[in-house]
Structure 1
Amino acid sequence: MHELSIATAIVERAEEIARAEGAEDVSAVTVRVGELAGVVPDALHFAFEVARDGTALAGARLLVEQVTARAWCDGCAQEFTVGMPPFFWCPRCDRPSQELRSGRELEITGVEAVAAPL
């Protein structure tokens, strides 16, 4: 289950961000996960709960924003959804796409830090 290594990396990076902001704890982390990133959101949530124990994220929530996989058709000059399993043929003109525009994302987009008491 590679989601555990991903969750561990999320926890470590969120702790770094919180420390840089002078925060003591983290209450939430938001991540964007593309449809083609190879990450199962439910497994990531479970792994995050395991990885956060004993860290500054012990009580943090993981918010996952799922990103739909979309490709670009040069022939139609339109974007289209590729679906799962991915199908890279344009549904309008029946040509193959050469450009994936979204769907591979795996990034932290927000860390809600709790300020350290003065």
Structure 2
Amino acid sequence: MHELGIMTSVMDAACEAARAEGATRLLSIKLSIGEATEAVEDALRFSFEALAASDPFTEGATLDVTMIRPRSVCLECGEEFEHDLHNRFCPACDSFATELLAGRELQIDSIEVDLPDD
């Protein structure tokens, strides 16, 4: 299950950034991940919940996941199109000469934290 590895890296990065800003708690993470990574959203959520519960700094934090559909451009005719993971043939000219434009992302869009009162 590579989702646990993904979420471990996401949590490490988010916690490091939060602590660097003096946060007392991590409250939420917004994550964008491409479907072409083949990460399973439910497994990401399960991994996040298990990791968040194991640390008082992250306990109770929430995860907002945006799954990004694969999108390619045809190198023959220039058509841009969405597709599933396995069918990248151009719907306009049936060419397989395509380039993936979106769907392999893994990005922390934002984090929400508690900061100490000054």
TM-score by length of 2: 0.91
User: Which residue is 2:18 aligned to?
Assistant: 18
Q: Distance in 2 between matches of 1:87 and 1:72?
A: 13
Q: Distance in 2 between matches of 1:20 and 1:76?
A: 48
Q: Distance in 2 between matches of 1:16 and 1:97?
A: 41
User: Which residue is 1:70 aligned to?
Assistant: 71
CA contact (8 A) 2:79 2:92 kept: no
Identical-pair percentage:
38
Q: Residues 1-118 of structure 1 correspond to what in structure 2 (within 5 A)?
A: 1-53=1-53, 54-84=55-85, 86-118=86-118
Q: Figure out how many residues of one structure are paired with residues of the other and give that number.
A: 117
Query: Structure 1 runs of 4+ off > 3 angstroms?
Result: none
Q: Distance in 1 between matches of 2:14 and 2:56?
A: 10
Shift in Å at residue 104 of structure 1?
0.6
TM-score by length of 1: 0.91
1:5-59 per-position Cα deviation (integer Å, ceiling 9, x unaligned):
2111111111111012221111110111101112100010001001112142111
Corresponding letter in the other structure for 1:56: F
> Which structure 2 segments of 5+ residues have no match?
none
> Which structure 1 segments of 5+ residues have no match?
none
Q: How large is the RMSD of aligned CA atoms in angstroms?
A: 1.3
